[in-house]
Amino acid sequence: MNNGSTSGELADSLRTLVSRLAPGDRLPSSRELIKEYRVGPATVARAIAALAAEGAVVTRPGSGTFAAQRNRLRDEACDSDTDTDWQTVALTDRAVDTHLIADPLGPPPAGTITMDGGYIHRSLQPTRALSAALARAARRPDAWDRAPAGGLMALRTVFARIVGGSVAPEDVLVTAGGQSALSIAFRAIAGPGSPVLVESPTYPRALAAARAAGLRPVPVPLDADGLRPDMLADAFAMTGARLLYCQPTFQNPTGTVLAPERRRQILDVARASGAFVLEDDFARHLGHGGAVPRPLVADDRDGTVVHVTSLTKPAAPSLRIGALVARGPVMERMRAVRLVDDFFVTRPLQEAALEVLSSPSWDRHVRSLGTALRERCAVLAAAVAHEIPGATLAGPPTGGLHLWVRLPSGVDDTVLTSAARQRGVTVSAGSRYFATEPPAAHLRIGFAATTDHTELTEGARRLGAALTDLGPREA
């Protein structure tokens, strides 16, 4: 194999090698493969990643790569007489694209430091308060009765108070988390085939939800002050879009906060275009101790803004309670979509969320969480600056769960994330966050899902080692 060999050719060679090994046998090290096949480190990393995605090999940080156990049930299924080819015709072209939200490499090996997640570590969750609230909710006589389609009035009242302004409980629709709210809003507001303007970069699962609704995401650039109003006006004019999706507060992945002078400009541009603004306020309770700006919907007098909020990020992954806030016919449309989907959100979970939000312990939790996130953010920022010279950090953010890091020139973000997994740390490739071609290579690195500061520092060290493994940049 010569220097021009591709990772695909190397992967084919390694498949042949794995077929001769017993499950659990160790493959040659990356250094040995580089020497034997005369290829670069990045080529090896791509080939190993491809085999891991197929389930042919298992990587163990610090130990190496091993032939995987053969899946007897899968082999038997492949040998069966079941013929499902007819489904290809029946399903037509309505595939749901999940490549932006699914991990192609599967669950990471044991011992991997997780820095690619979007939830807080168990030690940061108000677990005791959540468990007690759910237990009390389940003991109520009406615990298992049908809940109102719009949500419990008391919970809607609390959400209205959190949003502020002139928002009333009648303007609130309780949903099964923020992702459900996004899906409802995209389907209710815009028809299949319509364009939807999105920040660039933006939240991958919002892109996935928009595309599942048949919409076409059109990127609008950000800068240090958030979404650019001049570019937004041009995008509305060029596309005829009637919907903008944005995250004005602690934007994911950049951490940007929309500047005060731009908040009114964004609403004015949208209103002049006859368009809605879908405001994703997922990070309202994830500030790092400073002031958090009011949501856009609190200052909206014309029904332009459809607001999304959620308790999942600041509380726990399984507290799937969120809300949509809107005025006018758009709320009736969203209620209809919601009713068709699943009638209502389970009552015990709504009751538990109400108890948690109504308790003084919730404000204490938000304050302590903010302190912990600020400290973790500083630790990780310092570690990344030390371990990855040449990387550029956006921020530092004043809220949220992640750092947005621009990589040195010549580094492929997807190759680096694969190499990092080999080193025992998971991070997110920045290309996932762009609706079209990314302008540069980035990583999103989380600081909320690890156990402590030591893991953050060690994770950054492993990431730096993975970058070193790649060696000279390949053409």
Please write the tens of the pLDDT for every residue from 374-424.
Answer: 999 999 999 999 999 889 987 789 999 999 999 998 899 999 999 999 999
Per the listing, tokens 């908040």 go with 263
Res 475: pLDDT: 42
Choose among 419, 425, 421, 409: nearest CA to 469.
419
**The pLDDT of residue 473 is above 60:** no
Res 9: pLDDT: 87
Two tokens, residue 384: 């990344």
Distance (Å, rounded) from C-alpha 205 to C-alpha 385?
A: 29
Is residue 220 within 8 Å of 197, Cβ to Cβ? yes
**The pLDDT of residue 276 is above 50:** yes
Per the listing, tokens 């815009």 go with 190
**The pLDDT of residue 355 is above 50:** yes
Element (H, E) at 376: helix 360-387
- In sequence order, what are the residues at sequence separation of 6 or more whose Cβ sits closer than 8 angstroms to the Cβ of residue 446? 114, 115, 116, 117, 118, 401, 402, 403, 427, 428
Q: What integer best gives the mean pLDDT of the chain?
A: 89
**The pLDDT of residue 272 is above 80:** yes
- Which three-class secondary structure state does DSSP give residue 221? strand
Q: What is the C-alpha end-to-end distance of the chain, expressed in Å?
A: 17
Q: Residue type for 101, please?
A: I
Q: How confident is the model at residue 4 (pLDDT cuts 50, 70, 90)?
A: very low
Res 332: pLDDT: 93
Is residue 1 within 8 Å of 38, Cβ to Cβ? yes
Phi-psi region of 447 (alpha: psi -120 to 50; beta: other; left: phi over 0): alpha
Per-residue pLDDT averaged across 257-268, rounded? Answer: 95
Is residue 356 within 8 Å of 129, Cβ to Cβ? yes
Number of Cβ within 10 Å of residue 298's Cβ equals 16
Residues making up the chain, counted from first to last: 475
- In sequence order, what are the residues at sequence separation of 6 or more whose Cβ sits closer than 8 angstroms to the Cβ of residue 84? none
Distance (Å, rounded) from C-alpha 206 to C-alpha 216?
A: 12
Res 465: pLDDT: 93
Res 102: pLDDT: 62
Of 30-44, 145-159, 252-266, where does mean pLDDT reach its minimum?
Answer: 30-44
Res 104: pLDDT: 58
Of 51-55, 136-140, 164-168, 271-275, where does mean pLDDT reach its minimum?
Answer: 51-55
Res 3: pLDDT: 41
List the alpha helices (DSSP H) in 72-141. Answer: 72-79, 86-90, 127-138
Using alpha carbons, list the distances in angstroms from residue 59 to 16, 156, 180, 251, 465.
Answer: 18, 47, 34, 33, 16
Q: How confident is the model at residue 73 (pLDDT cuts 50, 70, 90)?
A: very low
**The pLDDT of residue 448 is above 90:** yes
List the alpha helices (DSSP H) in 388-470. Answer: 413-423, 453-470
Q: Residue type for 108, please?
A: P
Phi-psi region of 69 (alpha: psi -120 to 50; beta: other; left: phi over 0): beta
Q: What tens digit of pLDDT does each residue of 290-348 get? A: 999 999 999 998 899 999 999 999 999 999 999 999 999 999 999 999 888 888 888 99
What distance separates the 2 farthest-apart alpha carbons in the chain?
73
Per-residue pLDDT averaged across 253-262, rounded? Answer: 96
**Percentage of residues of the chain with pLDDT beyond 70:** 91
Per-residue pLDDT averaged across 111-120, rounded? Answer: 91
